[in-house]
Structure 1
Amino acid sequence: MAVVNLAPADLPKDSGRFDLPIALGILAASGQIENARLAGHEFAGELSLSGELRPVRGALAMAVATYTQGTTVRLVLPLDSAQEAALVPGAQVYGARHLLDVVRQFVAGGGGPVDASDDGWTRVRAAPGDGAPRYADLADVKGHTGAKRALEIAAAGGHSLLMVGEPGSGKSMLAHRFAGLLPPMNVAEALESAAIASLDGRLAPERWMNRPTATPHHTASAVALVGGGWSVFS
């Protein structure tokens, strides 16, 4: 019987991202793969009952946490998640389709993980961008001269903006075009924004380097919009 320790117990642990590292730990403890070969690697991935690797949320956030600290570890993920994590500059990311594809890289007598690609294992690199970010164009808006002028001033000065008006008066239409007036995102800003989307499972690689626009429901509370915190009582 194997015992898996997920200490510290006070840190929340959810999703199936621990499936792959737990499986590899059991295989290493039982001598089926070489424990020493796992050094220098980080693993995350959900396992199906057939051993196939399923994507997990937060892959890009994992890569950001790993590679912004200057480490040189290799990150092994399900293939779909690996494509997301590879957006982090300098990341060494490998994608696999099945548990056996990962095990083959660490079996005794093997040469260790390779950069060569096969049907189930590949070194994943960020795909080149396809041009400038795409935003809705403020030039498409007819009229609203005063509102458009306010958007331009807010974008130029880095100011916040509150739009108030009747339903259907064009507030959302104008707000969706505000991001196109802002300067291009740098890599640090893009990573911060994309990491949040990754944790929520809604990161689209084709939206990389695009400023996000959120549309919360009009009934959302102030806490839902800006977040809450713990209350401390003495």
Structure 2
Amino acid sequence: MRWLHSVLFWSFFVASSAVLFCVALVLFLVTWPFDRKGLVLHLFSCGWAQLYFWVNPGWRLRIQGRERLPWHGPAVLVSNHQSLGDILVLFGLYRPFKWVSKASNFRLPFLGWNMYLNRYVSLVRGDKESIAKMMAQSERWLERGVPVLLFPEGTRSPDNTMRPFKDGAFRLAHAKGCPLIPMVLTGTGDTLPKHGLIIRFRANCEVSVLEPVDPRAFPDPASLRDHVYGLMEREKARLESGAAAP
């Protein structure tokens, strides 16, 4: 039955994406004169992404600490990365931010085109010129008071354990002196596999938004990175154990 469920899901995904991109395009044109930061379109994109979570009745989402995410002002948001389902879950935060995403995602029909409309930030992994451009674009959004969201592992974990963090997000927060907000995901690896299109019936997903970290309290980005990794590793272990929040 999983294959039938998957066929129905992906058929709905493709058909609805075509329709919703047309809505997004109209929304972009209507709101552009007064919403240069793209907040309205981003919130619409949050609802678009959450639609695919809602149509899977066996998927559950619990969010802790959403109030720690700003509506206004710069922040660097970082999250561990387990699955494509992370995207659906993090859009469910319904807070303003600009994704940093690999450049190939922007070429996807409808979804990638919507990423262009939202002016999310593209990145070619391992390309120094692209990394420099990504950092510059992210800095400009922060200067305009818009948070940016990065996966510091750089790619999805194959086994749900956290991979070592890259420095980009931490150099960004340290350079701009803006809050760095760690977020920990669990259960999203049970939604969509890293390879293949067969989705799973049941998933209990959780997002825990931790207290903002002040990068000015650390002498360099590396010490900030190591501190945040420790915070997220401990929170991930707590979530997976089912322990109550301290």
TM-score by length of 1: 0.23
Structure with more relative contact order (C-alpha pairs < 8 Å, separation 6 or more): 2
TM-score by length of 2: 0.22
Larger Rg: 1
Q: Which structure dedicates a bigger proportion of its chain to helix?
A: 2
